[in-house]
Amino acid sequence: MSKIPYKIYLNESEMPTAWYNLRADMKTKPAPLLNPGTHEPMSASDLAPVFCDELIQQELDNDTRYFEIPEEILNFYKMYRPSPLVRAYCLEKKLGTPAKIYYKFEGNNTSGSHKLNSASAQAYYAKKQGLKGVTTETGAGQWGTALSMACSYFDLDCKVFMVKVSYEQKPFRREVMRTYGASVTPSPSMETKIGQKILADHPGTTGSLGCAISEAVEVATSTPGYRYVLGSVLNQVLLHQSVIGLETKAALDKYGIKPDIIIGCAGGGSNLGGLIAPFMGEKLRGEADYRIIAVEPASCPSFTRGKFAYDFADTGMVCPLAKMYTLGSNFIPAPNHAGGLRYHGMSPVLSQLYHDGYMEAISVKQTDVFAAAEQFARVEGILPAPESAHAIKAAIDEALKCKETGEEKTIVFGLTGTGYFDMVAYEKFHDGKMDDYIPTDEELEASFATLPKVE
């Protein structure tokens, strides 16, 4: 082994103390959120009934380069950060590649994913504002779990609307949230007007993320002392998640390592935007160049087959419009076990960067993703979440290209979380019962037809 340790940990003194706002270095800023009725840009006061005040400032600020991380959040981060940057020596050996592979492992906390980085920040600002609680939706459950933990720590009430089919199929996720004191309601529910309407119109529906968002927003805006929080897509979330990339860069710099390729899975963009932030910043400022690759499921290919257009953030069409790569807010992703990547849209920041040619995107098939996950688990030990395994698949492919060409490229990818709650999916894979769904062009065209017309 070389002098690079198996795991690079930062000392507490080496940890980032400010989040990096990538937007400050973008020549073309992400397009503003629009009021869904008037199509006017949303102002801070427009957003105030829904979001916490300080988070709105972060959401709208395209210029401030660094936001100091409050001490309370730094203390929370100490519970599970720094996360390790791991040199995948065993995977390299197994692949027989001259490439050097590193992964930033964000699963070393009870929520099992990187979601905690933003959940803790959002819970903190809600508490600081004197709120009683927050509402949110969760699909696969990673975000809901992370938010429950953060709310428990900051002594804040937490109401989670969980897509009914997940609520029933993932009872363990639900119980983790309850352990942390959150109330978890299957969506659609009778607790909201929108839920009542949906249940009346579609009796027996198993729910959708869009419906759960609508219910969470309704409760937040109709209950005094409550606001709504969201785990991905938003600019503020990417800001908080920049801690992933800042730590990664600090760890690499400590050993003088310069990556050639940076890879992350992409659903709403929270992990990818966080991981690449400081590297993309250097690229935007012309100080360095990197290949940056977003990996998405072939079943929900926002970047690779979507349109760059204004669209509703939710299926219920109550949230602001965002300009992003989208498959249309009515797009129903085919069944896929990477629940965290089943979102029709994409972070406006990442969408703009992709549109401007600063990053690449590829889509991968589900069965290939699970094969890569298993190969990785067997040599590196960690059991990856299906979402994370998208990045693994792409990293392995790049490393195998290096094997062919003999190039000693340095590849860094984000390992966003663990797969403990995804064993049903692994079981299907083991039993050869997993399918690769890919939407047809006709399906996408039908979905694009629902895009709102914005001048």
Task: Report the interface residues with its own copies, using CB under 8 A.
Answer: 1, 5-7, 9, 12, 75, 78-80, 90, 108-110, 112, 149, 152-153, 171-172, 175-176, 178-181, 374, 377-383, 418, 420-421, 423-424, 426-427, 430
Question: How far apart are the C-alpha atoms of 96 and 435, rounded to whole Å?
Answer: 30
Task: Report the nearest approach of its own copies to the CB of residue 321 (Å).
Answer: 37
Task: Report the nearest approach of its own copies to the CB of residue 167 (Å).
Answer: 13
Q: How many CB atoms lie within 10 A of CB 193?
A: 12
110 versus 206: smaller Cβ distance to its own copies: 110
Task: Report the nearest approach of its own copies to the CB of residue 379 (Å).
Answer: 7
Residues 6+ apart with CB under 8 A from 89: 1, 6
80 versus 437: smaller Cβ distance to its own copies: 80
For residue 287, what is the DSSP state?
Answer: S
For residue 36, what is the DSSP state?
Answer: T
Residues 6+ apart with CB under 8 A from 13: none
Task: Report the nearest approach of its own copies to the CB of residue 425 (Å).
Answer: 9
Task: Report the nearest approach of its own copies to the CB of residue 137 (Å).
Answer: 21
Q: How far is CA 120 from CA 117, 183, 264, in A?
A: 6, 18, 22
Task: Report the nearest approach of its own copies to the CB of residue 43 (Å).
Answer: 37
Task: Report the nearest approach of its own copies to the CB of residue 162 (Å).
Answer: 14
172 versus 255: smaller Cβ distance to its own copies: 172
347 versus 366: smaller Cβ distance to its own copies: 366
Question: How far apart are the C-alpha atoms of 142 and 160, rounded to whole Å?
Answer: 12
CA dihedral (125, 385, 18, 41) in degrees, to 10, reads -60
CA-angle at 418, arms to 414 and 424, nearest 5°: 130
122 versus 208: smaller Cβ distance to its own copies: 122
CB-CB contact of 310 with 326 (8 Å): no
CB-CB contact of 172 with 179 (8 Å): no
84 versus 439: smaller Cβ distance to its own copies: 84
Task: Report the nearest approach of its own copies to the CB of residue 240 (Å).
Answer: 17
90 versus 165: smaller Cβ distance to its own copies: 90
281 versus 340: smaller Cβ distance to its own copies: 340
CB-CB contact of 194 with 316 (8 Å): yes
Could you tell me the end-to-end alpha-carbon distance of the chain, in angstroms, rounded to an integer?
59
9 versus 255: smaller Cβ distance to its own copies: 9
DSSP characters for 111-174? T-BTTHHHHHHHHHHHHHTT-SEEEEEESSSHHHHHHHHHHHHHT-EEEEEEEHHHHHH-HHHH
For residue 189, what is the DSSP state?
Answer: -
Task: Report the nearest approach of its own copies to the CB of residue 55 (Å).
Answer: 22
